[in-house]
Structure 1
């Protein structure tokens, strides 16, 4: 498989050369309050890449003069860079959303403008750049054991909590140190302690700056790993569990992208195959449902899905198991 040719981010100098109308409408579009902070960042990057392409290939035309042929050529350009189908679809979606914004709110000024991504332009065929293969319990145990030998306690805490709670990397970075002091959740019927804890409010995926709020569930295993990391880390004023120390000696909240770096540069080397943050979430779902035989409705609640149909996407079953049952 050939290596993916990553599209470089647009520099300030390149962006300043983009048609003024395109820059203004992009900034205006990004100010919409229904966009989450994370989505806004992704949209900004995608739209800047699009308008750099228009600048370079189509004489910097303003958005209202673009046609479906321009959209098709941009999509072909993305596919020629061997991006995954999901990456192409997202960049296409960002442009289509901006076109919809212009079509809806500026119809009086540009009555002939229509969304350049019409139904006649097919979506790129679905492709997988990497095999969807969750981590087994044995692989996770070996990974944690090796990290403990290396005394990488923050990494151990990250893996234990992310896998235990089935959370996303953007949720993990929000975790506060205070969770090590929380008590067990009480059974509302008997008042007895249940064998798990709940975090403070965590912002999950959702529209707007507030998004969807929920509490993550974690066990004594996670609590112990976080405690160990905080003991090694020592005292500081940063309230977050996962942090980095700056050159000036200050302790700050870790960026979610750091987890990608850990997975690529450390975890993959230990496991012997590709590891990525979202894989921990899928591994938790798969091991609970396909290996331990847990009810998928209960796993849905752990992962924070509204429908078990979404949870099923995360569960990877071996075809051989189904065939074996037939014989």
Structure 2
């Protein structure tokens, strides 16, 4: 397989172990040594660095005659960045792949100074061209979310509906959703009296009913992530129970699963399964691009923009340490009526 064959390649391409074995042995062994000694990288980050380095060295194989990385020049690495740009990577994707190679070079300079005293990081000083290729963030409105749920119910896509409502209710990531155990359907609800405002601004008391999951490893600075118990509502519990009822008895402890064609093997889904649901049926129903992280952004946005909750409510639900993270990256406001409108009044 060649990464560059005259056409723009699929941005999601992954290098297989078999393909990786065709790379120059020196480059391959140095990459493996680097990855084996990255104790400070989380279990989620390490595979991303591995993927980025593999893509680079396959490119080196195809475009620089598989030369040793210690002989690569700055201008040659610039060609690699140009190739990424033409291939259709986003700005952030290119920056990450540059960073993966850069940290690898720094590691070699520090750990192999005696063996390669003249080697220098060939990525230093090179800037990533701003391609402007970004996906516009357009969260699901409350009406769009309800319509998506209703359509999945109509089609009797019970597992997809359970995943959608759980992900939206908790605001969790796809890696967190796949850890959910089916035992949660037996958990008891927590009921609390809370005070809320009606449409006229009058305060009244109501019952808040929610559930807590078992401990789930969420994104965090440590190697194993941040352990949290996710909070979700009665609507999600309803569809989780429906899915387990339809699924029937099996030995797999996880909530979201895939089955073999004969139905005998049931195993935990991969994150790519959620991607496929979103890129396929969910996108078809909504009429625009849907991806797993969109539910997290939509939940935060709808809490603050449509339900007029304090940003701190979304912050706590999503598990951010700082409310600024929630505000800067997850609350997507409508700019149709911003303050600059006043510049066009008499």
Q: TM-score, normalised by structure 1?
A: 0.91
1:11 CA drift (Å): 4.3
Cα deviation for residue 126 of structure 1 reads 6.0
How far 1:325 moved relative to its partner?
8.5
The more displaced of 288-297 and 26-35 is 26-35
Are 2:178 and 1:173 equivalent residues in the alignment? yes
Match of 2:4 in 1: none
Q: Which of 93, 99, 113 does residue 107 from structure 1 map onto?
A: 113
Residue correspondence of structure 1 range 267-282 to structure 2 within 5 A? 267-282=282-297
Tell me which moved more, 97-106 or 254-263.
97-106
| Structure 1 residue 87 corresponds to structure 2 residue 98 | no
The C-alpha deviation readout for 1:218-275, integer Å capped at 9, x for no partner, is 1111111101110111111111100011235211001111111111110111111111
Gaps of 5+ in 1: 188-192
Pairing 1:223-234 to 2, within 5 Å after superposition: 223-234=237-248
Change (3 A) 1:296 1:325: farther
More strand by share: 2
Residues 1:95 and 1:198: Cα distance change in structure 2 (over 3 Å): same
In 1, Cα distance between the equivalents of 2:97 and 2:64?
Answer: 18
8 Å CA contact retained: 2:109, 2:121? yes
Q: Secondary structure at the match of 2:14?
A: coil
**Cα displacement string for residues 25-58 of structure 1 (whole angstroms, at most 9, x for unaligned residues):** 1112222233233322222222111011111221
2:259 counterpart residue number: 245
> Partners in 1 of 2:86 and 2:133 — Cα distance?
15
Give how far 1:207 is off: 4.8
Residues 325/85 of structure 1: CA separation in 2 closer, same or farther (3 Å cut): closer
CA gap of 1:316–1:165, structure 2 versus 1, over 3 A, is: same
Tell me, in whole angstroms, the C-alpha distance in 2 between the residues paired with 1:170 and 1:282.
15
Counterpart check, 1:124 vs 2:140: no
Task: Note if contact 1:18-1:55 (Cα within 8 Å) is conserved in structure 2.
Answer: yes
Q: Give a deviation string over 1:185-236, Cα, whole Å, max 9, x none.
A: 477xxxxx96222211111123564122111111111111101110111111
How far did residue 124 of structure 1 move?
3.0
Q: Residue in 2 aligned with 1:33?
A: 39
Whole-Å Cα distance in 2 between the matches of residues 5 and 19 of structure 1?
Answer: 22
Is the contact between residue 184 and residue 194 of structure 1 (CA under 8 Å) also seen in structure 2?
no
Give the stretch that moved more between structures: 145-154 or 209-218: 209-218
Cα 1:100–1:207 shift into 2, 3 Å: farther
Q: How many pairs were matched up?
A: 319
Q: Secondary structure at the match of 2:297?
A: helix
CA distance in 2, matches of 1:208, 1:108: 32
Q: Name the residue aligned to 2:70.
A: 64
Gaps of 5+ in 2: 1-6, 193-206
In the alignment, structure 1 residue 22 sits paired with structure 2 residue 27? yes
Does residue 1:261 correspond to 2:276, yes or no? yes
Give the aligned CA root-mean-square deviation in angstroms.
2.1
SS of 2:49's equivalent in the other structure is: helix
1:283 equivalent among 287, 298, 314: 298
- 1:272-316 residue CA offsets vs partner (Å, 9 max, x unmatched): 111111110000011111111111122111111111121111111
TM-score normalised to structure 2 length: 0.86
Moved more, 303-312 or 104-113: 104-113
Q: Quick check: 1:55 aligned with 2:55? A: no
Report the CA distance between 1:166 and its aligned residue.
0.4
Conserved 8 A contact 1:34-1:207:
no
Partner Cα separation in structure 2 for residue 40 and residue 246 of structure 1: 30
Deviation of residue 70 (structure 1)?
A: 2.2
Alpha-carbon deviation of 1:117? Answer: 1.6
Distance 1:172 1:109 in 2: 46
